[in-house]
Amino acid sequence: MTVPDRLWIGGEWRDSASGETFETRNPATGEILAEVASADEQDVDRAVASAREAFGSDEWRKMSPHRRAELLWKLGDLVGRDADELATLETRDNGKTYFESRKVDLPSVVENFRYFAGLADKIQGETIPVSGPFLNYTLREPVGVVGCIVPWNFPLSLASWKVAPALACGNAVVLKPAEQTPLTALRLGELAVEAGFPPGVLNVVPGPGATAGAALVRHPDVDAIAFTGSTETGKTIMREAADTLKKVSLELGGKSPNVVFADADLEGAVRGASTGIFYGKGEVCAAGSRVLVERDVYDDFLEAFKGRAESMRPGDPMDKSTRLGAIVSEEQLDRVLGYIEVGREEGARLVTGGERTSWEGKGNFVTATVFADVEPEMTIAQEEIFGPVAAVIPFEDVDDAVSKANRTIYGLAAGVWTRDIGKAHRIASEIQAGTVWINTYNQYDSASPFGGYKQSGFGRDLGWEAALEKYTQTKSVWVAIDR
């Protein structure tokens, strides 16, 4: 398998202007996978110029929407064709299990390109009844050059969440993958040209956030930034984008509550709470990192949850029996272990886990960790840890559950477990979050909008309405019809 290691600009592999590279590693082994060309301002400038040129070209601008739809569908096919290879690259670069890459991420990427292929030829304006002898109609036009900045937890999947709708709407894209996981995004650039997209319509520039990412955000010829990542970086991006008044959408962090009532199917709730926080090693923006449990079933829940956590075997991500992959980087490992330490110091009760571990003496692994008796104000109940660490918090009744669930700056997602349908709907309406899962967790679909309330950001990924909002702009045209 060839590992892509250069910038993808204008349909060609290019070295960085400075000649600089950075290492991307397999966090399960520490092995260096590639020395990847590191984009700086000059490279971003070249990529933006290439996107601008493609955006203005007849080939792209005048392409029929049906053809654009075909190309997106084809790109989905090519991702499907290369799914084994892409999933392997993803697992090696990120440390997540191959099961997750191959059976969850890759199929969702294919689905996503197909869903947005369906949107490409259904983007239309309106005719509007206005006063006077005029015909007034609107055109839905692409925004222009869109900068997509994505994180390392679902590298290809989150790239597709942005790239697919942006292309469906007729934009040109510069994609900046995370420096920890640049490989699958680079392959996507190559596949887009194979699918038939004009070169330059999708450019991929790996590099550090502070250089490549910041250059993209500041670039005067970039019209919009679509970002997924930390709330802190989201704030920086919003500030930096102000100078050139870019259209910004931010899908940020979370501290999502998973609320278990005494009348729930307890076994299902335990399973849901476990995948809620341990899926993807907890490096999931919507991770159910606060597990709120009604007092009456608190002890029973904890015992079963502990058992589940202990069955989450860390190990070789390529091995089918592995349940917990490797934490993406040493830096992230230190953050997670740091939070575990803070949890202990602040007096939360460590029920299980809490340790660094390894596979054959290698890799960045943390055991599935459960803290109980967590107070809502403790650091581990307030800050996004982004690791396999659950904070279990008892509650007394519905009001107490809602109040505790909402006691956070975030509002990305929430889960509710109950057999009482009225209670479920009440919680769904009172919880401040962009997604609420009832008796399930971590469900996604290309057609269903996903994004945050409060400091989890604004703008939605997925779904056609949000795509139109983010990736098109409306032009109102007036025609005098009395002359």
Q: What does the binding site for ligand NAI look like in residue numbers (CB under 6 A)?
A: 149-151, 153, 176, 178-179, 208-210, 213-214, 217, 228-230, 233, 236-237, 252-253, 285, 332, 335, 384, 386
Q: Which is nearer to ligand NAI, 6 or 335 (CB)?
A: 335
Return the sign of the alpha-carbon dihedral for residues 25, 341, 254, 309.
Answer: positive
Tell me the closest approach of the beta carbon of residue 202 to ligand NAI, in angstroms: 16
One-character DSSP codes across 42-94: HHHHHHHHHHHHHHHSHHHHTS-HHHHHHHHHHHHHHHHHTHHHHHHHHHHHH
Q: Which is nearer to ligand NAI, 212 or 260 (CB)?
A: 212
294 is catalytic: no
Tell me the closest approach of the beta carbon of residue 350 to ligand NAI, in angstroms: 21
Tell me the closest approach of the beta carbon of residue 332 to ligand NAI, in angstroms: 6
Amino acid at 284: V
Residue from 24, 233, 352, 369 touching Mg ion (CB under 5 A): that is: 24
Tell me the closest approach of the beta carbon of residue 85 to Mg ion, in angstroms: 16
Say if residues 26 and 33 touch (Cβ distance below 8 Å). Answer: yes
410 binds, among ligand NAI, Mg ion, none (CB under 5 to 8 A by kind): none
Q: How far apart are alpha carbons 318 and 65 in whole angstroms?
A: 40
Residues constituting the chain: 483
111 touches Mg ion by CB under 5 A: no
Q: Which of 95, 84, 105, 101 is nearest to 31 (CA)?
A: 95
93 touches Mg ion by CB under 5 A: yes
251 is catalytic: yes
Tell me the closest approach of the beta carbon of residue 77 to ligand NAI, in angstroms: 27
Q: How far apart are alpha carbons 476 and 125 in whole angstroms?
A: 9
- CA 200 → CA 133, 185, 347, 388, distances in Å? 43, 15, 54, 39
283 touches Mg ion by CB under 5 A: no
* DSSP letter assigned to residue 328: S
Say if residues 124 and 460 touch (Cβ distance below 8 Å). Answer: no
418 touches Mg ion by CB under 5 A: no
Q: Which is nearer to ligand NAI, 301 or 339 (CB)?
A: 339
Task: Return the structure tokens found at 9.
Answer: 């600009």
195 binds, among ligand NAI, Mg ion, none (CB under 5 to 8 A by kind): none
For 291, phi then psi, to 5°, come to: -100, 110
Q: How far apart are alpha carbons 5 and 72 in whole angstroms?
A: 25
Contact segment (CB under 5 A) with Mg ion among 90-98, 310-318, 375-383, 389-397 equals 90-98
Catalytic residue numbers, as ranges = 251, 285
For binding to Mg ion (CB under 5 A), which residues are involved?
24-25, 93, 180
